[in-house]
A and B are shown apart, each in its own frame.
Chain A
């Protein structure tokens, strides 16, 4: 089973700063990796699919990169509404990473 490991578990930043979230797969997933954002009391929202494609309506400050085993979600300049939990997810058994909590510093 392919395992996804996200780092860091918690990231503390201020609005306007750049956020870099990592997702590492235990074996290659090619580019079949998605990123989601989930805020308290809300459903998850698709941000990125196929490693680097922004989903419909997602602001340009969100970008994804990587292939094989190492992936990155970058938020270029944090807005107050970006503080949330972020998950990566891959194709095999629809497995999710454990999440990164992005919190306000």
Chain B
């Protein structure tokens, strides 16, 4: 069974930084592509970033490009999201998700809340 647990969410000031983690278990983490998806208050789901199984392929949404960095440690079964230069509009629940079929997400964590506010 896919088990994903995010951590690292917090209240941070605009311009600040934060690193999210996602601990994976119940499946062979190293062979799966992974993504971060967020949901801002009162809004819908927004894909944020993608990473290939061996970290060779990485993509970002335009809204976070140049500010966020996705990475993974397959030895530790952990996915990361380094978030720099945070803005008010980055306030959201951040989910890590396991990808299948090249696009859909068949496993999700419970989410971690990031609040950007002064």
Contacts and interface: CB of A to CB of B under 8 A. Distances in A.
Interface in A33-68: 34, 36, 38, 42-46, 49-50, 55-56
B46 interface: yes
A89 B104 contact: yes
Nearest to B50: A94
Chain A residues touching B, range = 20 to 34
Interface in B65-107: 95, 100-106
Contact of A93 (B45, B47, B104): B47
B13 interface: no
A46 B106 contact: yes
Interface residues of B, number: 22
Interface in A69-104: 85, 87, 89-91, 93-99
Contacts of A56: 106
A94 B44 CA distance: 13
Which has the most chain B C-beta neighbours within 10 Å: A45, A94, A97, A98?
A94
A14 interface: no
A32 interface: yes
Given A46-B104, A94-B35, A36 B109 contact: no
Given A93-B61, A94-B35, A44 B45 contact: yes
A95 B110 CA distance: 20
B47 A94 contact: yes
Contacts of B100: 49
